[in-house]
Amino acid sequence: MKKLLVVIIFIIPNSLVAQSIKPFTDYSIEELFTDEKAQHHVLEGCISLYSAITELTRKKYPELANAFYEIANTLYPYGIISLSKTKKISYEEAEKIFFTNVNNLTNGYIDEMNRNGEKNKSYFKDSFLGDDLFFCHEVTKSFNLAISESVINTN
């Protein structure tokens, strides 16, 4: 009975807040700046994808892993802010939920990339993951540009 209670306590809350891996084909860059929910979904996914790449390349390609780590950490605060806005919760509460969601999604991406790697000898070949990585790159560039422009306009 105690084991069942522990499973319920850990699985149910995670399933309520976590998203599953879905291709980003339904989103556009423009939509991310007008739709807070879309922005949150994509930021959470991109950060998780970058984190998965970091984990999978850490030993063999440490410089590449570090680059993806830095990109993920650059976007991380904006993912927390977007969750805070969409759920109307405090930054601190959003941070905890966001961390859990990103961890869960990162593990999902790692599993998907490993399956694809076994099948195609590549994490990205013949998979939506390559398109998503490209889209995430575009998202990151757009966010960096928007941040740069806001800094320039405030000075």
Q: What is the pLDDT of residue 19?
A: 65
- Give me the number of domains the chain comprises: 1
- 108 in a domain, yes or no? yes
CB 41 within 8 A of CB 31: no
Sequence-distant (6+) residues with CB within 8 A of 116 are 122, 123, 124, 125, 126, 127, 129
- 95 in a domain, yes or no? yes
- 149 in a domain, yes or no? yes
- 129 in a domain, yes or no? yes
| Cβ atoms within 10 Å of 131's Cβ, excluding its own | 13
- 2 in a domain, yes or no? no
- 70 in a domain, yes or no? yes
Domain that holds residue 146: 31-154
- 111 in a domain, yes or no? yes
- 9 in a domain, yes or no? no
Sequence-distant (6+) residues with CB within 8 A of 118 are none
pTM of the full structure: 0.83
Q: What is the pLDDT of residue 144?
A: 86
Q: Provide the residue-wise pLDDT of the chain in tens; the chain has 155 residues.
A: 444 333 333 443 444 344 688 899 999 999 988 999 999 999 999 999 999 999 999 999 999 999 999 999 999 999 999 999 999 999 999 999 999 999 999 999 999 999 999 999 899 898 999 999 999 999 999 988 887 776 676 65
